[in-house]
Amino acid sequence: MGKVKRKIKTIRIDADKCNGCRACEVICSAFHATPKYSSNNPARSRIRMMRDPLRDVFIPVYAGEYAPAECMGRDKYVIDGKQYDECGFCRASCSSREIFKEPDSGLPLKCDMCESDPPLSEPMCVQWCLNHALVYEEREEEVEESPKPEEMEIGLEALAKKYGLEKVMDAVARLGKKG
């Protein structure tokens, strides 16, 4: 398999520019509401602003991967003499805390970079951050080419020969449910 170019989308966070206005939370939850823009609730947002106004601390944090188990440690950060709360910058949706979970269903929330059709010029939270604390950036990276459908078929055939068709079908069905 050869290498192919893939577009990597990132949002650079300049926490010094964040004033805690929470516009990013409002627009993210509205953009992902069904129907779109029918409601807004920061608890459904995939970006949350971690705040400690008395110490003038505002840090936007994006929802990342779901973590099925709590981690064993609790990180504390001290930056410029200010201590930040345990788990303060963590992006995971995990069982230790309520953040990054859909309030009604409890399902994990994850930033999807506002994937939509037609695509947006920039993610909504970036467009709504008037302080430019969130800056959208794109770059290209070379990655291994994904297997073509016919190569996957050959791969599945080999697995079926080795483990039996039923077991392979079960595993594929389980993977489908996880997605």
Task: Name the residues that contact ligand SF4, by CB under 6 A.
Answer: 18-24, 28, 31, 46-47, 49, 58, 60, 62, 111-114, 123-125, 128-129, 131, 133-134
Pick between residue 54 and residue 173 the one whose CB is nearest to ligand SF4: 54
Element (H, E) at 78: strand 77-79
Report residue 85 as tokens.
């709360």
| 32-to-24, 41, 44, 47 alpha-carbon distances in Å | 12, 10, 8, 12
CB of 84 to ligand SF4, least distance (A): 16
| 108-to-62, 64, 71, 91, 115 alpha-carbon distances in Å | 13, 9, 16, 11, 17
CB of 138 to ligand SF4, least distance (A): 13
Pick between residue 11 and residue 87 the one whose CB is nearest to ligand SF4: 11
Pick between residue 101 and residue 128 the one whose CB is nearest to ligand SF4: 128
CB of 128 to ligand SF4, least distance (A): 6
